[in-house]
Amino acid sequence: MNLEIHRSTKEENVFLDLIGDLDMAGAPILRQAIAQEVSQGNIFIVLNFSAVHFIDSSGLGSIIGGLRRVRSNHGDLFLIGVDVELKKIFRLCELDKIFNIDATYETFSG
Amino acid sequence: MTGEIELSIPVRVDYVQLVRAVVGSLAATNSELSTARIADLRLVVSEALTNAIRAQEKNSISERLSVLCKLTDSAIEVEVRDNATGFDVDLIRDLPPTESPERLQHERGLGLSIMREMSDGLEIKSGPDGTVVHMTINS
């Protein structure tokens, strides 16, 4: 299925629940969603991967771009709900050194 | 089960997911290929097809892409063929170190290393008439 994004907020964090595959088709959708949040001043963004079961280099690129965008605005980007298969790909690309891939919703729900 | 299928794909991003599904379904008919290996297969196919689509879009070439899958008793081989103008694999630069701030400036450049790591065999032939990427996933 094409990537869908459901949005919610909690305190200063914006949660973007991603649903579907994060690939060449999904990456621009995520990129645009993050750009829109940042343009509205929402610079602390949590991407929920609980319903994402496929990611490739295009998807990884969109996350890297998102991180660059929020950090250049003094914000940050967090990932939660990354499943075992996706973690394997993050580690392969050494992106586990940039992102905490073990965080859960509880990490941010205080 | 053994067999062979050939797909002719329009140069459209929304077909990448469909190709992953078809190739994955073919692989799943071979009980020797584990779920993890089929996940690896879907990933490398996605990378190869993404590169092919980007190459043709860059050169405004609308000719269809070809995806050939051959299932044997012990492996699945996939060949992705485009009609773009080719590239030199040796000229692809390494990404900056992950810990470097400069790394965030690079959104692309992971596809080839993913294909190398996740496949059991990767062969790329590229020339002015196009590129053929041949990948093998063993059981």
Which residues on B lie below 8 Å from A92 (Cβ)? 113-114, 117-118
Number of inter-chain CB pairs under 8 A, A vs B: 67
Q: What is the per-residue pLDDT for A24? A: 95
Domain residues for A75?
4-109
Q: What is the per-residue pLDDT for B94? A: 77
User: pTM, whole model, 2 decimals?
Assistant: 0.91
Q: What is the per-residue pLDDT for B102? A: 77
Q: What is the per-residue pLDDT for B53? A: 97
Domain residues for B62?
3-138
CA neighbor of B45 nearest in space, from B74, B9, B72, B73: B9
Phi and psi of B93, rounded to 5°?
A: -85, 150
Contact A60 B110 (CB under 8 A): yes
- Domain tally, chain A: 1
The three-state DSSP-derived secondary structure of A52-97 is: CCCECHHHHHHHHHHHHHHHHCCCEEEEECCCHHHHHHHHHCCHHH
* Chain B residues near any Cβ of chain A (below 8 Å): 13-14, 16-17, 20, 36, 39, 42-43, 46-47, 50, 53, 98-99, 103-111, 113-114, 117-118
pLDDT 10s digits, B15-47: 999 999 999 999 999 999 999 999 999 999 999
Q: What is the per-residue pLDDT for B57? A: 95
Contact B47 A56 (CB under 8 A): yes
pLDDT 10s digits, B74-132: 999 999 999 999 887 777 777 778 777 777 777 777 889 899 999 999 999 999 999 99
Q: What is the per-residue pLDDT for A110? A: 62
Average of per-residue pLDDT across A42-46: 97
Confidence class of residue A99 from pLDDT cuts 50, 70 and 90?
Answer: very high
pLDDT 10s digits, A78-89: 999 999 999 999
Instruction: Check if the beta carbon of residue B46 is closer than 8 Å to that of residue A23.
Output: yes
* Chain A residues near any Cβ of chain B (below 8 Å): 1-2, 21, 23-25, 54, 56-58, 60-62, 64-65, 67-68, 71, 85, 89, 92-95, 97-98
Average of per-residue pLDDT across B50-62: 95
Whichever domain contains A14, its CATH number is 3.30.750.24
How far apart CA B35 and CA B42 sit, in angstroms, is 11
Question: How far is residue B82 from each of residues A43, B17, B53, B62, B127, measured CA to CA in Å?
Answer: 40, 17, 8, 10, 10
% of chain A at pLDDT higher than 70: 98
- Domain tally, chain B: 1
Q: What is the per-residue pLDDT for B133? A: 97
pLDDT 10s digits, B64-77: 999 999 999 899 99
Q: Under 8 Å CB-to-CB from A56, ≥6 apart: which residues?
A: A22, A23, A24, A89, B43, B46, B47, B50, B111, B114
How far apart CA B38 and CA B26 sit, in angstroms, is 10
The rounded Cα A39 to chain-centroid distance in angstroms is: 17
Pairing state between β B121-127 and B65-71: unpaired
B105 or A36: which leads in pLDDT: A36
Compare CB distances from B14 to A25, A56, A65 and report the shortest one's residue: A25
Phi and psi of B136, rounded to 5°?
A: -125, 135
The yes-or-no verdict on residue A61 having pLDDT over 80 is yes
CA neighbor of B134 nearest in space, from B54, B56, B57, B79: B79
Whichever domain contains B131, its CATH number is 3.30.565.10
A1 or B28: which leads in pLDDT: B28
Helix count (H) and strand count (E) of chain A?
A: 4, 4
User: Is the C-alpha dihedral spanning A7, B104, B116, B132 positive or negative?
Assistant: positive
